[in-house]
Amino acid sequence: MLQVSREGRLLRLTLNRPEKRNALNGALCRELVAAIEEGDRDPGVGAILLSGAGKSFCAGMDLDEMLTPAEAELGEVHERLFTIGHRVTTPIIAAVHGAALAGGTGLAANAHIVVASEDATFGLTEIRIGLWPFVIFRAMVEAIGERRAVELGITGRIIDAQEAASIGLAHRVTTEVDASASEIAAAVATSSPAAMRTGLRFVAETHGLEWDKAGKLAQRVRRDVFTTADFAEGISAFREKRKPRWPSLNL
**What residues are labeled active site?**
126
**What single-letter DSSP state applies at residue 247?**
G
What one-letter code names the amino acid at 30? R
Instruction: Measure the CA dihedral 156/162/168/172, to 10°.
Output: 140
Nearest C-alpha neighbor of 2 from the set 44, 38, 50, 43: 50
Neighbours of 214 (CB within 10 A): 15
Q: Could you write out the DSSP letters of every residue in 132-199?
A: --TTTHHHHHHHH-HHHHHHHHHH---EEHHHHHHTTS-SEEES-HHHHHHHHHHHHTTS-HHHHHHH
Q: Are strands 121-123 and 99-101 parallel, antiparallel or unpaired?
A: parallel
Nearest C-alpha neighbor of 24 from the set 56, 72, 49, 47: 56
